[in-house]
Amino acid sequence: MSAFGGCKTSAMGILPHKDVDKALELALSLDIPFWPQLPHVSYYQDMYVQFSEHFPGMIIDETDKKITFNTTLFYEQLPEYIDKTADPETFGLSEKYANVFHRFLDQDLTKYSAIKGQVMGPISFGMRISDENLKPMIFHDEVRMLMFEFTKEKINHQYAELRKHNPNTIIFFDEPGLELIFSSISGYTSDMAKRDLAELLSGIDGIKGVHLCGNPDWDFLLNAEIDVLSFDAYRRGEVVVRYDSVRRFIEEGKILEWGIVPTNIELLDVETEDTLIAKLELLWDHLVAKGVDKEKIVRNAQLAPATCNLVGARSEEAVEKAYDLLLRISARLKAKYNLE
């Protein structure tokens, strides 16, 4: 796991850029680069659309930017889908749905300590995409079971592709929907999610990460069979460090990806290297007070932007400014703690 820690920089997969070359340059500037998802380039670059490729029953409306699950179509396409599962390419990312992924693989990725991929999490996908009667996919038991199996195959296929270019590969689930399963508005319970995720994680052949910007039950994630947890430390850090399970997570050698740099342009106009380092080290001091070894904290730390930013006239400017600030903060912390 040393390839992923030591205050190295990385980020979540989505960027607001319309220029593919610029987006790739930005992603490749990090210690642990990722292949960018660029929904402003094409609707097919949206994380939800990319996940849907080859899953039976999906209807993509590129004009209205909408995905619908059609139950009748699902059962019509299911036999053909089952026949195709023997072909690994059924779970691959095609040029149409992820041309930036293929552009990423054309780069020299051997010089990095590690590289990163990502998929839309099945819980979030299943809760957001609804059928013709506005019933979310995740409440169709048979569909949900297939969706988790589909996710496992997609992740393992992406691992295989990325490992051809760098053996230290991690793939993240982006799971904003995990915040909802602990609320009263969701009929998909946390117990159901724990069961489904445990089965999914056990079938994944690689280092596993989860990213979310919201505020779920952190114990649920800190005790899951994941290796890296990415969170919005800028807004949620004070909540996360209160959990006793953080100590076990770090002491087991797992990585916390601290999203310490905001991507909101107004916040970036007032925050500095000094203020963000002070904020981060205050969180670390809280863990030290709970008995966590400081050296383990910094060696098991990864640094990232707090969130993605897709909206607003200055979103590209904000993200680029955040990345620049992130790299400078990382350099200072690596020097301070002798991490190079």
| CATH number of the domain that residue 202 is part of | 3.20.20.210
How far, in Å, are 36, 72, 77, 297 from residue 92 at the CA level? 16, 25, 18, 36
Q: Is 255 helix (H, G, I), strand (E, B) or coil?
A: strand
- The residue among 112, 111, 117 whose CA lies nearest residue 98 is 117
pLDDT at 314 over 80: yes
161 and 22 inside one domain: yes
Domain stop point among 179, 214, 231: 231
Number of domains in the chain: 2
Count CA atoms within 13 Å of residue 6 on its CB side: 14
Q: What is the pLDDT of residue 178?
A: 72
Mean pLDDT for the stretch of residues 98-126: 95
Q: Is residue 58 part of a domain?
A: no
148 and 276 inside one domain: no
DSSP 318: H
CB 306 within 8 A of CB 232: yes
pLDDT at 168 over 60: yes
Q: What is the pLDDT of residue 256?
A: 97
CA 327 centroid distance within chain: 19
The domain of 137 spans 9-53+87-231
188 and 274 inside one domain: no
179 and 307 inside one domain: no
Q: Is residue 80 part of a domain?
A: no
Q: What is the pLDDT of residue 163?
A: 96
Distance between CA atoms of residues 125 and 195, nearest Å? 17
172 and 223 inside one domain: yes
Q: Is residue 170 part of a domain?
A: yes
Q: What is the pLDDT of residue 186?
A: 59
183 and 134 inside one domain: yes
Q: What is the pLDDT of residue 191?
A: 80
Distance between CA atoms of residues 165 and 259, nearest Å? 26
Distance between CA atoms of residues 144 and 122, nearest Å? 8
Distance between CA atoms of residues 295 and 338, nearest Å? 10
133 and 196 inside one domain: yes
End-to-end CA distance of the chain: 15
Q: Is residue 250 part of a domain?
A: no
159 and 293 inside one domain: no
Q: Is residue 145 part of a domain?
A: yes
227 and 287 inside one domain: no
List the single range of 5-14, 129-138, 192-201, 237-246 with lowest mean pLDDT.
192-201
CB 229 within 8 A of CB 222: yes
CB 258 within 8 A of CB 298: no
Q: What is the pLDDT of residue 183?
A: 58
266 and 159 inside one domain: no
Which residue has better confidence, 173 or 284? 284
196 and 128 inside one domain: yes
Q: Is residue 74 part of a domain?
A: no
pTM (predicted TM-score):
0.93
- The residue among 125, 121, 194, 105 whose CA lies nearest residue 155 is 121
Residue-wise pLDDT tens digits, 34-66: 999 999 999 999 999 999 999 999 999 999 999
Strand duo 169-174 + 207-212: pairing:
parallel
- The residue among 80, 77, 83 whose CA lies nearest residue 56 is 77
Residue-wise pLDDT tens digits, 179-231: 766 555 556 777 888 888 888 888 998 899 988 877 777 888 898 889 999 99
Q: Is residue 48 part of a domain?
A: yes
147 and 45 inside one domain: yes
CB-based contacts of 67: which residues, under 8 Å, 6+ apart? 48, 49, 52, 58, 59, 60, 61, 129
Domain stop point among 213, 231, 249: 231
Distance between CA atoms of residues 334 and 329, nearest Å? 9
Q: Is residue 264 part of a domain?
A: yes
